[in-house]
Amino acid sequence: MFKTLFIFGLTAVAEIVGCYLPYLWLKEGKSAWLLLPAVISLALFAWLLTLHPTAAGRTYAAYGGVYIGVAIFWLWLVEGIRPTGWDLLGAAVAMLGMAIIMFAPRHA
């Protein structure tokens, strides 16, 4: 379970970095050179998604919940915006959804 959460966390960071760097270039006037690490980060994101042993659709659905949680943490850590209680509640609900999808008993 912890390995799954760890890989999902890394996956979310890779996706957020891969999308945040072009955002900085387009919206904040930063260097276009940021696109190079963005591409590498997005390639890492795609590769990390393949490390999960469950069906791709289930992995993608569950990953969405982790992404929401990591994005709220990013908001606080990188962008310096303190999450509201509603942000935290929404992230908790998303994480609960991820846990239900990933860790529910399966019949073979």
CB 14 within 8 A of CB 48: yes
DSSP state of 104: S
Percent of the chain with pLDDT over 90: 66
Instruction: Please check the confidence at residue 51 and state whether its pLDDT lies above 70.
Output: yes
The pTM (predicted TM-score) of the whole model is 0.84
Q: With helix as H, strand as E and coil as C, how does 64-102 read?
A: HHHHHHHHHHHHHHCCCCCCCHHHHHHHHHHHHHHHHHH
pLDDT tens track for 63-83: 899 999 999 999 999 999 999
